Structure 1
Amino acid sequence: MRVLIAMMKHETNTFSPVRTDWARFGEWGRHEGTAVLDAYRGTGMPTGAYIELAEKMGAEIVTPIAAEAMPSGPVEADTYERLSAPILDAVRSGCDLALLDLHGAMVARSTSDGEGTLLERIRAIDPDLPIAVTLDLHCNLTARMVENCTALIGYKTYPHTDMYEVGKQIAEIVIGSMNGECRPVMSWGNVPLLSQTLRQGTDDEPMKSIIAMCRDAETEPGVLAATCFGGFALADMPDAGSSVIIVTDGDKALADRVRDRILARIWELREDFIYEHTPLEEAVAEAKTITDGPVILLDHADNCGSGATQDVMTAIAEVLRQGLEDVAVAAVWDPEAVREMQAAGVGATVTLRLGGRSDMPSIDETGAPLEVTGKVKVLTDGEWVVHGPMYTGVKVMMGPTAVLDTGKMQIVIVSRHHEPWDIGVFTSVGIQPEHKRYLLLKSRIHYRAGFAPIARHTMTLDGKGVTTSDNSLLEYENVRRPIFPLDRINEY
């Protein structure tokens, strides 16, 4: 058997000013040919699961490309074609099975439905090819995705700690169908709800209950897979929103019933999927009264893991203004600051205009650097391997990295965007996060993968950035209307 294994992943924030070109995929992870096997064999990724299954089958494995970029703006048209072309060429060359590790919220300048377009092109080449697809919990599911694959599934965890498991599950379903063991049919639907990412943590309500419904559904006879996608509201495209897909063994009526049951419950809980804000000054003042740490402070509006610039200094400035002590920050993106610190050398005292390198026209904000003085504590190449439960075994490349110690705050400064979901963002530069009073993280929910075990308290800081949870700051042009909460609708 000849098995095609490919990964093409990007969560597109259409409000982000960060350019998504071929080089950006190279920064985070772009591998071709046998290098894909070297990069992902034995990892906790869907691609890792695919490789393991194919090798156990004794299959000939074809790995044209595995590419992922940190979330950012729309994928450039030529980059989208360069990512797609090797996969399409491999299909033209002939294969018996395709195992695809995709995201579900890729928007390119040439198509608002990156994954659906790819799958449609594959189907045009080989209409009968068995195709298994793994998608992110933040997928904006489309008809094109569903209609052009054999079966698809999404993660049931946020932070995404079950990527390997769901990849294995959907691959086994499709392989089983090839062996005559099952006949997968899919039923899907969505509700007009722009659920906010900050309200999609699967350890919290309301998402916790919805995921429990999906897990319960998978115990019903005949149900092969049940997925709820929270969706990604920062991708301004027609199909953005919450959706459900059910895979059953030949029973479309059963799939429809399970789908409708879960969709109805999501809609009932729609108000709970919207975040309520607290003024930044109040939140920091409250944090200052907490004496036992670590206290996690989430600068969620500047989370590069959802497409932010990672150089907005609003929350950091307020923490410094109110005099919080023993703070570690991960991370500020500022390659120029890193170069200045490299030139000064470890131990030198420097004054920097830190951050604020990026303008954000979609929210009418210009870059605003913050002047800070401190000691150059550490300089590294920014490379380390994840040992925590999310992206296990994957090599992180933050680019040249530095730590600035102001006395009250240690700031990790990176040259490549990286969301701090693993404690390695600190331990790789000599900081022990469990001994800090405050950890200020530019993250939303993924931080829990590495930091939940050590956190004593967690607070959200409503700063500025293009991953804001304030819908009033965003001008939607392409999403279907009416949709909640942009429109206060009561039915769907």
Structure 2
Amino acid sequence: MKILIARMNHETNTFSPVPTPLAAFGVNGPTYDADAYAENLGGRTAMSAFIDLARAAGAEILTPVSATANPSGPVAQAAYDTLCNCIVAASDHCDAMMLDLHGAMVAENSQDGEGDLLERLKARHPQKAIGVALDLHGNVTQKMIDNADVIVSFKTYPHIDMYETGAHAGKLLLEMLAGDIKPVIAWERLPLMTHTLKSADQSPAMHAAIEAAKAAEQNGVLAASVLAGFALADIAAPCISVVTVGKDSASAQQAAHNIATLIWESREGFVYTSPPLADSIRGAKDMSGQSRIQSAECGNPQGPILLLDHSDNCMSGGTCDTMDVLQEALAQGLNNIGVGPLCDPDAVDQMAQAGEGANLTLRLGNKRPLSSLGIVKEPVTLTGRIKRLTNGEYIISGPTYTGLKCSMGRTALFVCGDLELVVTERTHEPWDLGVFTSVGLDPAKKDFLLLKSRMYCRPVFFPIAKGFVECDSSGVTSSNYALFPFKNIEHPVYPLDPQTQWPA
């Protein structure tokens, strides 16, 4: 038996000005064939689980490509075509396919990146089974449902069950190939655009939906997935979905409908309302004077207050260079602030030329025009010292992407009194304390830590923090949908249209 195993991941923010060429997929572009296999062997991705299952089954394994890019703007046509053509060509030489996809890819030439790929594969090989692992934030489409035999998505956000999801999807596909099951997929999509901050698996409404999915699996459904969707993709329906895999159509459809009904009844719980930025910073300032930790999630009463700049989060397509939160923090007199990572390649280049120890006046941040939102900002002028220059590499300690080597590009630690900024060449999620410690900054010793992050920082930074404040402003990952000029959304949809009914 020959099994094709491939990875093609991208969450597309159609409003993001950050480009997505082929080179964006991976540290130095995608990996192919033996390199793709080696990159995922022993890892914690869904593709890693597929490889382990195929090896255990004694199958011959084809790994034509492994490609994952940080969320950003629409995937370049040349990049999308290259990745899809690579997978489609390899499909001629296999008996079945296991695909590690995201579910929210939009390309310059495709509004439905995954659906169009699956349609090509199924049209070319209608008898070959296809199993798919998806991200929890996938925007499920009819093409995905029609052209896959098994679909399973993550149940955690932050995503720490990527491997387990691959194992689940792969196991079902192998059982199908062995003739043990004949899986049937059912799907319910709701007219509900969720906010990413409300899609965390511990957020009450999402938690209840995921628990219902787990209960369905315990009661005979082969797989039940709740996909929150990714609303910053301006497509017809970037909405929450329920996908079930069952032994028969009736039970699968009933399970999907039951979970969807639960979601709709708690739809307000999937909507996040941002307080004004000034109020958020004021709350952080008040919290800093307290001697106790804010919540059970936080673990250090002497630690920093985290300022989570979710309006400029690179893992939702942010530029990582907006300065609104820092400007408001400085205006309100916050001291001893650590910032990072701030993406400003021009500033990094100037610092690299000046060298460690040099004093410099820089125009920092606010350099990528947010044209899709009609917003132009001015850089902030700061004078300070270049304390450290590095290649920006570190190893993630976990729990997400444990052991993965990361590169922020050339990186500098710029110090302006007690304000310390980690400035990078690349947009980068603060996955790990290594974002700071790799350049000699101890984040636990700051009073405030400004993170360009929404969710992934939490498992690592909350244990060293006293508390946190979610900060929203005018960036391309803002939770304020009023900022976004949606053109392709099908109406009515909640919460854009508060009177939306379901079923219609």
TM-score normalised by L of structure 1: 0.96
- 1:39 and 2:39 equivalent? yes
- In the aligned structure 2, how far is the partner of 1:225 from the partner of 1:295? 40
- In the aligned structure 2, how far is the partner of 1:405 from the partner of 1:327? 10
- In the aligned structure 1, how far is the partner of 2:403 from the partner of 2:2? 26
Match of 1:254 in 2: 251
Alpha carbons of 1:216 and 1:29: their partners in 2 closer, same or farther (altered >3 Å)?
A: farther
How far is the alpha carbon of 1:238 from its aligned partner?
Answer: 1.1
Match of 2:298 in 1: none
SS at match of 1:122: helix
SS at match of 1:485: coil
Letter in 2 for 1:298: L
Q: Per-residue CA shift, 1:218-251, capped at 9, x if unaligned?
A: 111x211110000000001113100000111x22
How far is the alpha carbon of 1:432 from its aligned partner?
Answer: 2.6
Matches within 5 A, 1:83-482: 83-92=83-92, 94-220=93-219, 222-248=220-246, 250-291=247-288, 292=301, 293-482=303-492
Asked if structure 1 preserves the Cα contact closer than 8 Å seen for 2:191 and 2:500, the reply is no
Letter in 2 for 1:227: S
- In the aligned structure 2, how far is the partner of 1:58 from the partner of 1:163? 23
- In the aligned structure 2, how far is the partner of 1:184 from the partner of 1:456? 48
SS at match of 2:362: strand
Letter in 2 for 1:20: T
SS at match of 2:280: helix
Letter in 2 for 1:189: E
- In the aligned structure 2, how far is the partner of 1:160 from the partner of 1:27? 20
Q: Per-residue CA shift, 1:447-469, capped at 9, x if unaligned?
A: 22322333331211122211111
- In the aligned structure 2, how far is the partner of 1:86 from the partner of 1:259? 34
- In the aligned structure 2, how far is the partner of 1:129 from the partner of 1:294? 54
Asked if structure 1 preserves the Cα contact closer than 8 Å seen for 2:284 and 2:468, the reply is no
Asked if structure 2 preserves the Cα contact closer than 8 Å seen for 1:403 and 1:412, the reply is yes
Asked if structure 1 preserves the Cα contact closer than 8 Å seen for 2:139 and 2:239, the reply is yes
Q: Per-residue CA shift, 1:378-417, capped at 9, x if unaligned?
A: 2111122222011122221211111111222211111111
How far is the alpha carbon of 1:28 from its aligned partner?
Answer: 6.8
Q: Per-residue CA shift, 1:16-52, capped at 9, x if unaligned?
A: 1112112222547521111112212111111111122
- In the aligned structure 2, how far is the partner of 1:150 from the partner of 1:20? 29
Matches within 5 A, 1:10-25: 10-25=10-25
Asked if structure 2 preserves the Cα contact closer than 8 Å seen for 1:42 and 1:393, the reply is no
What is the root-mean-square deviation in Å for CA atoms of aligned residues? Answer: 1.4
Match of 1:5 in 2: 5
- In the aligned structure 2, how far is the partner of 1:483 from the partner of 1:28? 40
SS at match of 1:223: coil
- In the aligned structure 1, how far is the partner of 2:422 from the partner of 2:28? 18
Asked if structure 2 preserves the Cα contact closer than 8 Å seen for 1:28 and 1:70, the reply is no
Asked if structure 2 preserves the Cα contact closer than 8 Å seen for 1:70 and 1:305, the reply is yes
How far is the alpha carbon of 1:66 from its aligned partner?
Answer: 0.7
Asked if structure 2 preserves the Cα contact closer than 8 Å seen for 1:311 and 1:358, the reply is yes
- In the aligned structure 2, how far is the partner of 1:129 from the partner of 1:384? 41
Letter in 2 for 1:476: F
How far is the alpha carbon of 1:426 from its aligned partner?
Answer: 1.8
Q: How many pairs were matched up?
A: 489
Which 4+ residue blocks in structure 1 deviate beyond 4 angstroms? 26-29
SS at match of 1:218: helix
- In the aligned structure 1, how far is the partner of 2:186 from the partner of 2:338? 47
- In the aligned structure 1, how far is the partner of 2:403 from the partner of 2:308? 25
Q: Which moved more, 1:32-41 or 1:157-166?
A: 32-41
- In the aligned structure 2, how far is the partner of 1:28 from the partner of 1:420? 20
Match of 2:296 in 1: none
How far is the alpha carbon of 1:86 from its aligned partner?
Answer: 0.8
- In the aligned structure 1, how far is the partner of 2:260 from the partner of 2:340? 37
Q: Which moved more, 1:140-149 or 1:438-447?
A: 438-447
Q: Per-residue CA shift, 1:290-332, capped at 9, x if unaligned?
A: 2343221111111111011111111111112222222221211
- In the aligned structure 1, how far is the partner of 2:311 from the partner of 2:61? 41
- In the aligned structure 1, how far is the partner of 2:188 from the partner of 2:79? 30
Match of 2:74 in 1: 74
Asked if structure 2 preserves the Cα contact closer than 8 Å seen for 1:302 and 1:466, the reply is yes
Letter in 2 for 1:211: I
Q: Which moved more, 1:229-238 or 1:447-456?
A: 447-456
Match of 2:65 in 1: 65
How far is the alpha carbon of 1:82 from its aligned partner?
Answer: 0.7
How far is the alpha carbon of 1:6 from its aligned partner?
Answer: 0.6
- In the aligned structure 2, how far is the partner of 1:57 from the partner of 1:63? 16
SS at match of 2:30: strand
- In the aligned structure 2, how far is the partner of 1:438 from the partner of 1:29? 35
Q: Which moved more, 1:428-437 or 1:387-396?
A: 428-437
Asked if structure 1 preserves the Cα contact closer than 8 Å seen for 2:65 and 2:83, the reply is yes
Q: Which moved more, 1:458-467 or 1:288-297?
A: 288-297
How far is the alpha carbon of 1:154 from its aligned partner?
Answer: 0.7
SS at match of 2:463: coil
Letter in 2 for 1:288: K
Letter in 1 for 2:280: A
Give the % identical residues: 44
- In the aligned structure 1, how far is the partner of 2:326 from the partner of 2:480? 19
Which residues of structure 2 form unaligned runs of 5+?
289-300
Asked if structure 1 preserves the Cα contact closer than 8 Å seen for 2:311 and 2:477, the reply is yes
How far is the alpha carbon of 1:189 from its aligned partner?
Answer: 1.0
Match of 2:52 in 1: 52
- In the aligned structure 2, how far is the partner of 1:470 from the partner of 1:56? 47
How far is the alpha carbon of 1:490 from its aligned partner?
Answer: 4.2
TM-score normalised by L of structure 2: 0.94
Q: Per-residue CA shift, 1:251-299, capped at 9, x if unaligned?
A: 2211111111111111111122111121111211221122343221111
SS at match of 2:18: coil
Asked if structure 1 preserves the Cα contact closer than 8 Å seen for 2:340 and 2:436, the reply is yes
